[in-house]
Amino acid sequence: MNGIFCVFEGIDGSGKSTQSRMLYEFTLNHGINSLLLHEPTEGFFGKKIREILKSNTLPPVLQQIDLFIKDRHDDVELNIKPALTRGDVIIMDRYFYSNAAYQGGVEFDAIDIIKMNIDEGFPLPHRVYFIDILPQEAMDRIQLRRNGNIELFEKIDFLTKVRDNYLKLIDERFLVIDGNRDINEIHREIKDDFLKLLKIHGRIM
């Protein structure tokens, strides 16, 4: 596989979706073949996940993990592996790190959920851009954006647990980004790192 696989992660309200779109637009503007994907997907299992998230009633954790893995399996086979084989750049808004951070807890540790996904044979990204902000800042952004209406996972205690799980997952693939800055400043840091990745993989612009 000769493509480049970049993943954006962060708690709700971190700005990761904005940054993933900005990097995608940068690649398009520079003639780089790229694909912007997100989880949950718009496929069969992804839609089931979205329905559950809107219902405010969660099934058992193992069932949640299973749904995400099935959704991810379809995405990997239909989109991610073919794009990597073509040599494209994949920009992913959430991947199995989100699964580990959000579903990790008493029953299953976040690290164990990562291992489950690796055992499924899902490709590892070249870079994980973790947009890090404090849960209170995230809540302030979410409430402003949604006029005070929040969804199931958008509560400060839960977001604190999720951020703690993310911090456990940080390894050499991660670039931790201070998400409290201006969005253009954040984009420049990500873009500079992305250009280094291109050079490392022989894709000099």
Q: Which pLDDT score is estimated for 107? A: 85
CATH of the domain at 62: 3.40.50.300
For residue 59, being part of any structural domain is answered with yes
pLDDT at residue 154, rounded to an integer = 60
pLDDT at 5: 98
Question: Tens digit of pLDDT for each residue in 87-110?
Answer: 999 999 999 999 999 999 878 999
Tens-digit pLDDT profile for residues 3-19? 999 999 999 999 999 99
What's the structural domain count of the chain? 1
Q: E-strand spans in the chain?
A: 4-9, 34-38, 89-93, 127-132, 174-178
pLDDT tens digits for 122-181? 999 999 999 999 999 988 888 887 665 555 456 888 899 999 999 999 999 999 999 999
**Domain contains 18:** yes
State how far the alpha carbon of 107 is from the alpha carbons of 96, 112, 205, in Å: 17, 10, 46
* Residue 81 counted as domain residue: yes
Q: Is the residue at 10 inside a domain?
A: yes
- For 167, the domain range is 4-200
Q: Is residue 205 part of a domain?
A: no
Percent of the chain having pLDDT more than 70? 94
Pairwise CA distance, residues 97 & 125, whole Å: 11
Q: Which residue has the tokens 């997100």?
A: 38
Nearest in space to 116 (alpha carbons), one of 91, 82, 107: 107
